[in-house]
Amino acid sequence: MGSPVRGMPPHVVYTTESVALEGFLFIQGTYHLIYKYFIAHVHPSSHFFAILLGIMKKLSPREKVREKNRERNREKNQIRKQEDIRERTSRRNSDKQEEKVTVKKVGPRKGSIRTPKTPFSKSSTAGAPAISKTSWGNEAQWYSDHLEAGDTYHAKVVLPNLLRVVDPKLGMKILEIGCGEGFFSRALAHTGALVTASDISPELIELAKKKGGKLTYRVSPAESLDWVAPHSQEVVVAVLTLQNMEHIEKVFDGVARSLVPGGRFYMVLNHPTFRIPKVTSWGYDAATLTQYRRVDAYLTPRREKIDMHPGKKGSASVTYSYHRSLQDYMKALRHTGFAITRLEEWISHKTSEPGPRASAENTSRREFPLFMLIEATRIH
Instruction: DSSP letter for 312, please.
Output: S
- pTM here is 0.65
Task: Tell me the domain boundaries of the chain.
Answer: 11-59, 97-378
Distance CA 345, CA 354 (A): 27
Return the axis-axis angle of helices 47-59 and 61-104, rounded to nearest 10°. 70
How buried is 176 (Cβ within 10 angstroms: 0-12 exposed, 13-18 middle, 19+ buried)? buried
* DSSP per-residue letters across 57-73: HHH-HHHHHHHHHHHHH
| Whether 249 contacts 332, CB under 8 Å | yes
CA–CA dist 252, 255 (Å, integer):
5
Give residue 195's region: left, alpha or beta (phi > 0; psi -120 to 50).
beta
CATH for 97-378, options being 3.40.140.10, 1.20.1440.120, 3.40.190.10, 3.40.50.150: 3.40.50.150
Among candidate residues 275, 249, 266, the one with its CA nearest the CA of residue 331: 249
Q: Exposed, middle or buried: residue 83 (CB in 10 Å: 0-12, 13-18, 19+)?
A: middle
pLDDT given at position 40: 61
Q: State residue 69's pLDDT score.
A: 75
Q: What is the pLDDT along the chain (380 residues), one digit of tens a residue?
A: 455 545 555 555 555 566 566 666 666 666 666 666 656 665 555 566 566 666 666 656 666 667 777 777 777 666 666 666 665 555 555 444 444 434 333 344 444 333 334 345 443 333 333 333 345 666 666 666 666 766 899 999 999 999 999 999 999 999 999 999 999 999 999 999 999 999 999 999 999 999 988 999 999 999 999 999 999 999 999 999 999 999 999 999 999 999 999 999 999 999 999 999 999 999 999 999 999 999 999 999 999 988 766 666 666 677 889 999 999 999 999 999 999 999 999 999 999 999 999 999 999 999 999 999 999 999 98
